[in-house]
């Protein structure tokens, strides 16, 4: 019984700060290209990011709001890009790193493995890659509402 109580007390002290640290990524971020803004939120115990603003929200070909026209699943090509969840399933690993996630590129319909490193409170390094982490590309995202 004592061991169980000790375990609960230990969890309360140990797990809560890690949760709070992981939640530092929550907020609205701007990718390096500046064409979108992405809101990162926590759903259940993972982190997800969706497009909340587009520099060019209207598709010049259709004169309608942009949709996910390159999605490999044809049945989902009418999903609007504004509101599209492009970052999925990130787990906080400690030391300002979120891993095991994916990033979706609506420009080509490809999904890449992805890791996120928080350089400081207002800067993220987002690394997308296929297979091996070495062969990838890193983009720097800035927090929209800077924390001082």
Partner 1 sequence: MGRLIRKIIIAAIPFMFLFACGGAGEKVELIVSDLELFAEGYLFDGSNTATASWSFDQSRILEEKGHSGKKIAQARITSITIGSDENSELPSIDKVVIEMAASGTRMIRIGLLQESLEPGESYALQIADTQKGLEKFFEQEEITFVADVNLLEDFEDDLRLKLSVSFELEVK
Q: Which residues bind partner 1 (CB under 8 A)?
A: 41, 43-46, 48, 50, 52, 72-76, 78-80, 82-83, 85, 88-89, 102
How many Cβ atoms are within 10 Å of 111's Cβ, its own excluded? 15
| Least distance from partner 1 to the Cβ atom of residue 119, Å | 26
**Tokens 């929209």 found at:** 144
Distance of closest approach, residue 62 Cβ to partner 1, in angstroms? 14
Write the DSSP assignment of 43-82 as a string of letters: ETTEEEEEEEEESS-EETTTTEE-B-TT-SSGGGTTSBST
Toward partner 1, which CB reaches closer, 110 or 140?
A: 110
- Minimal distance, residue 145 CB to partner 1, in Å: 15
Task: Tell me if 118 sits within 8 A of 25, measured CB to CB.
Answer: yes
Dist. CA 72–CA 93, nearest whole Å: 30
Nearer to partner 1, 39 or 143 (CB): 39
Cβ at position 82, least distance to partner 1 in Å = 6
Q: Between 9 and 15, whose beta carbon lies closer to partner 1? A: 15
Q: Which of 90, 103, 122, 92 is nearest to 51 (CA)?
A: 103
For partner 1, the closer CB: 88 or 143: 88
């Amino acid at each position: 019984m004592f061991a169980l109580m000790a375990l609960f007390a230990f969890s309360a002290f140990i797990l809560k700060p890690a949760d709070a640290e992981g939640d530092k990524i929550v907020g609205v971020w701007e990718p390096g290209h500046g064409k979108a803004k992405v809101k990162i939120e926590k759903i259940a115990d993972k982190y997800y990011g969706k497009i909340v603003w587009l520099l060019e929200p209207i598709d010049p070909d259709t004169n309608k709001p942009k949709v996910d026209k390159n999605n490999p699943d044809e049945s989902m090509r009418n999903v609007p890009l504004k509101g599209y969840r492009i970052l999925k399933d990130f787990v906080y690993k400690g030391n300002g790193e979120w891993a095991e996630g994916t990033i979706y590129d609506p420009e080509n319909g490809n999904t890449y493995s992805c890791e996120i490193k928080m350089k400081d409170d207002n800067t993220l390094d987002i690394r997308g890659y296929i297979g091996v982490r070495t062969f990838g590309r890193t983009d720097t995202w800035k927090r929209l509402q800077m924390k001082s």
